[in-house]
Amino acid sequence: MPENTPLLSVRDLSKTYQGASGPVEAIGSISFDVRPGELVCIVGPSGCGKTTLLKCLAGLLPPTAGSVTLDGAAVTAPPKKMALVFQEYGRSLYPWLTVRDNVGLPLKARGVPKAERRAVIERAVEEVGLAHALDTYPWQLSGGMQQRVAIARAVAYSPEILVMDEPFAAVDAQTRADLEDLVRRVWQDLGVTVLFVTHDIDESVYLGERVLMLSSSPTFVQQDLAIDLPAERDQLTTRALPRFTELRTHVYEQIQRAKRGEAVASN
């Protein structure tokens, strides 16, 4: 990565849990960089420690060894400049708060004045197409809409990096396609850096500018692949491109190799 200094830098990160039957090595050693403004997807076989990796990145879980640096500062606690979207939207929104207050609570915690908060909330909720639902409760909305609320909350936080942990794993296919396009749009509109974790190979190729393929546990980065698809993506035409098929086949083969444990580290 020559010209840009990385926004997020992960160096030799490893995580070993103390299990009941001795230590379990969840993450072997992971290193990668994310440059400002990139949209990077992380894809790996199931059980490869994606969630563990994310928790370490987000400062929610201390790594056993190695370091995470965000914008030049070591991450030891949840950083100000990072917003998270969790897979379990139903459990990461506060059911006792309306959509407005769910989006607003992190801003309140940061001390944003009320009038400004109101404006930021309304803009973010508008961005995800839920302006009509500001004063409803999350549980009155469909799963897809709830995940939009979580995205609005992340957007309103105005982070430098948006980290998403398999955010669309629990929604139906049609809603998922809409939400994927929403992520691309938010990324382009706001110029935010996005790190998107998924187990869905098609999704990683469709969304990403780069795809990081992880090995099975103990995890390392198996390949760092640039996605040379046009910037304007469309569910129909992009997915029909021969290049899309080539890339997804390549990623698919790598993941299959990872599952068989044949992989060799490459950078």
Is the torsion defined by CA of 192, 172, 224, 17 positive or negative?
positive
Alpha-carbon span 86 to 243, nearest angstrom: 30
Tell me how crowded residue 217 is: count the other CB atoms within 10 A of its CB. 18
Strands, E, within 20-135: which ranges?
22-34, 39-43, 65-70, 73-74, 82-85
Least CB distance to another protein at residue 112 (A): 12
Tell me how crowded residue 236 is: count the other CB atoms within 10 A of its CB. 7
Closer to another protein at the Cβ: 153 or 184? 153
Least CB distance to another protein at residue 27 (A): 18
192 touches another protein (CB under 8 A): no
Least CB distance to another protein at residue 194 (A): 16
Site for another protein in 153-172 (CB under 8 A): 153, 157
Closer to another protein at the Cβ: 151 or 258? 151
Closer to another protein at the Cβ: 92 or 216? 92
108 touches another protein (CB under 8 A): yes
User: Coil, helix or strand for 88?
Assistant: coil
Closer to another protein at the Cβ: 12 or 94? 94
Closer to another protein at the Cβ: 145 or 211? 145
Q: What is the dihedral of CA 213, 219, 222, 225, to 10 degrees?
A: 30
Closer to another protein at the Cβ: 153 or 257? 153
User: Coil, helix or strand for 52?
Assistant: helix
Alpha-carbon span 45 to 59, nearest angstrom: 23
Q: If you ran DSSP here, which 8-state letter would residue 138 be given?
A: G
Which structure tokens are listed for 148? 């939009």
Whether 62 contacts 228, CB under 8 Å: no
- Please give the helix or strand (H or E) that residue 225 lies within, else none: strand 221-226
41 touches another protein (CB under 8 A): no
Q: Which of 19, 114, 139, 234 binds another protein (CB under 8 A)?
A: 139
Q: What share of the chain is helix, strand, coil (3-state, %, to 5)?
A: 40, 25, 35
243 touches another protein (CB under 8 A): no
4 touches another protein (CB under 8 A): no
Q: Which of 19, 62, 95, 129 binds another protein (CB under 8 A)?
A: 95
Site for another protein in 51-90 (CB under 8 A): 55, 58-60, 78, 80, 82-84, 86, 88
Count of residues touching another protein (by CB under 8 A): 28
Binding site for another protein (CB under 8 A): 55, 58-60, 78, 80, 82-84, 86, 88, 91-92, 94-97, 101, 105-106, 108-110, 137, 139-140, 153, 157
